[in-house]
Structure 1
Amino acid sequence: MTTSTAAAQHGPVSTHILDTSIGRPAAGVAVRIAARAGRDADWRALGGSTTDADGRCKDLPAPPEGTTHVRLDFEVEAYFETHAEKRADTRQDAPANRDSGAGVFFPEVAVTFAVRPGEHYHVPLLLTPFGYSVYRGS
């Protein structure tokens, strides 16, 4: 991929995670990146990183030339298990027994998006133990 100014500063793909249940960045979340060249092609694992204290992942490996789709896999279950004590207030009004059988409904989040050469893709993840939202950032 050709690098633009943003891509040169952060890499072609970056992300950050905000834990909206506590209003803080989600630090220490493992993020893996994979790429493919066409919707029928096999996924190729590229590596990964871990979110920093600000919930940001700026050092993800760059997708190879010819990439048309990128997938980010967020391993959020371990984060929620580690930070369960911060969620005491959010569970106060929640039913005591959720149907997931665990403290987190989505143990991992996979986000797949289309890419074009030369563009930077920032993909923020807004997260709670029972839901998430994602969008293309800047």
Structure 2
Amino acid sequence: MSSLSTHVLDAVGGSPAVGVQVSLYAQHESGWQTTGSGTTDGDGRVASLADGLASGTYRLVFATGDYFARAGTEAFYPEVVVSFVIEDERHYHVPLLLSPFAYSTYRGS
């Protein structure tokens, strides 16, 4: 079984994105089901969104619009959705580098 964490960085401010709500969903035959959630801490991290994840397709949904609204910053993306596949037993880390009009992500460990 695998585990998952994330880290959100604000590229414009050059700092951790604190207070971003993150939800984890697993794909099932009946659709997407919530598997975990959390809010980024003072370092922009959610250290453990879920443990014991089986192989399959998952998605993280980052509430980026709410984060930028609290900062009084206009933003294009109300949320960022990152879908990915877990294939083996290991720790997965999915960071998000965020700005009001762009984002990037990658598979970390």
Q: Output the TM-score relative to the length of structure 1.
A: 0.72
Contact 2:4 2:91 in 1 (8 A): yes
Q: Any idea what SS the aligned residue of 1:77 has?
A: helix
1:80 corresponding residue in structure 2:
68
Residue in 1 aligned with 2:43? 54
Aligned-pair CA distance for 1:76? 0.7
1:25 partnered with 2:16 = yes
Q: Which has the larger radius of gyration?
A: 1
Query: Identity percentage over the alignment?
Result: 45
Does 2:93 correspond to 1:125? no
Unaligned runs of 5+ in 1: 4-11, 88-102
- Determine the C-alpha separation between the residues in 2 that align with 1:42 and 1:64: 17
Which amino acid in structure 2 is aligned with residue 74 of structure 1? F
**Higher helix fraction: Structure 1 or Structure 2?**
1
In structure 2, the gaps of 5 or more residues are none
How large is the RMSD of aligned CA atoms in angstroms?
Answer: 1.7
The one-character-per-residue Cα deviations of 1:43-100 (angstroms, maximum 9, x if unpaired) are 22113000000000112123543x411100000111111123xx6xxxxxxxxxxxxx
Against the structure 1 CA distance between its residues 64 and 136, is the aligned structure 2 distance closer, same or farther, given a 3 Å change threshold? closer
Q: If the length of structure 2 is used for normalisation, what is the TM-score?
A: 0.90
